[in-house]
Structure 1
Amino acid sequence: MNAINFSLKTLTLFLIFLQIRAIILPCDFSFDKKYGYTCRVGDINITKSHVKIKRIGGNHEEERKLFNRTDTDVLRVIMFNRTINFLPVNITHYFPYLRTLQVKKCGLQRLTRAPDLRFTLRRMYFGFNEIKNIPEKYFWHFCRLETLSLHGNQISNIPRMAFRDLISLKRLSLNNNHLKSIDSVLFTNCLNLEYVDLENNSLQYIESKLFSNQPRLNKLLMRNNQIGAIESGFLSRLKYNETGFNALLGGNRCIDNFTFPRDGNYEDLYRLFVNNCSPPQARVESTTPKTTAKPKKKPKYRTPDMIFFENCTWNIHKDYAHHFKHGF
């Protein structure tokens, strides 16, 4: 059996090797004050997986040639309105310090692994493509990722542990997809989330623990879904705070064209939810909400007590070491 398995693996690797194609990646180089030295990818077609970059086309700006004749100083790559169904497998070999990767309106079909991206990438924009699934382990190790945009795709499901390592994530856009549900565990380690957009999906139910572990969250967009029930525990997260937490849930089955009041009238909001959005087993008569003691202020910035050591800890030692009980 071992010999058979070894033969199958060898054959698979050989077939992958045969599929590998080398391309020249055309770059229009420019400098951006906010994002750094940028490569805007020119006209190119990548319709097969396992494509490798042979070399980078295009010329550096004159003043940069004096100091750096390679492409290692590129911090942002933009692929816009091209035919790129799969990312080149060795993109980080040519851009090892990449901070921003934008692949928009390119027909990207699948999130293929580029292991080195996880160590440097801060911003990932993959909007308006044809992505249908998020592999469970794809975003593991992305400890420094701060912005993730996957809007305008065809994503219908996200594995519950897909975002387990996104401890630095601040902005998340998943609007205009086909999501029907979100596991309450999905964002457990995303302690620094500030902005979440889930509009224009097919969400039907909100669990009580969803976003219960995000003290910095101040904008939540869930309009135009099919939400018909919201667990009562979710209400406590909607209390207004000093930073002005803003949640929009209009255009759903139980909250038709409703926007949360700007004056922060939590009692009216509570009654609305109890009467219209409570799950069947928890539906009650309209009553005055119970008064509870003010919750203790959570720290503005936290990281999990224990991170997966094989994934993130060594990579974020300088930034987060003082947050860990177990040391390094």
Structure 2
Amino acid sequence: MKKVFIPIFLFLFIFISCNKKEISEEKSWEEFSKTVNEIKKKQGLNTENKSEIQFQKNENTKIPEEFLGTYIPMNFELFLKSEHSYTKALYQTWDLYTLLMLQNDICYSDLHFHDGYAIDNNLISKWKYIKDNENYYIIDEKGRLYKRINTDGSYNGYEFYAEYVLTEIFKDAKHKQNIKLTDGFVYIDDEQFTLVLDMNFLEAENDCIWLTNGEQLFVLKIEGLTAKIYETESIESHHGIKETDKIYKEIPMFYWNDENYPNLDISKLNKNDLRLLRNLIYAKHGYQFKSEDLKQIYENFDWYKVNPNFKESSFNEREVLLKDSIINKEK
């Protein structure tokens, strides 16, 4: 049977999530390490050479220097990647520390980005630390796992957090020449937007993220392969903001899970999206489009380059299968 290698943090996540009780102080760290290795063995993983894992148990409130930095919940990352929605990921991890900013002798967090505070030193003293090659993790006092995203644990953590979220949400669209990500901002058609972190009093259905240009709030929704940015308005009955049906910007071919290309799910796509995805295969091989709308969409990607020797015979087996599946669904 072919062995599948999965990052160690996923097994830590599975183990901790399945263990409903807090990690007992009576249970030695060596036993915890042994349990993790047993899980790896069951999955056919190499427990000796695949990862250089170092476990540290904190005996006081001082945070180990090499673990300083900005951390996010592992559950948040998993939901962000699977749901492709900041809103859903945030609400699915509502009971965790929203983020951790670890400094030498103090750790700051922020309750849903609505109320910043310093974490009690008695809780910090119960934390455990994991180094897996170049990756750093923390297990908090309730056995919940966090991943470091930057070595800076100052208030710049808010910027690192926003940049991390935007990079994930825009991971396909960032290759468009009219979209740029930098320093925690996203520029769309040269207009600067900031990610709205605090979701309190914001109301929308199936929203992906909320953005602001400094003057008003917007809701970005992913609808098929396209993103639509909607304008918002105040709610008269209470202090809140809700979406409207007025579209401020529309971004075709925003997200299609390109990292899995060409193994893509087409089951929920409408005919227009199927057409765009079918022509994506051609764009990947440098086909020169004649239709003005397709030409405008694909020439906007930084990876697109016209191939004067284009041939469909250059499609690989999976691309042919994807193309044929789309054509059958379009009938």
- Is TM > 0.5 for Structure 1 vs Structure 2? no
The structure that is strand-richer by fraction is: 2
TM-score, normalised to structure 1, is 0.27
TM-score, normalised to structure 2, is 0.27
The structure that is helix-richer by fraction is: 2
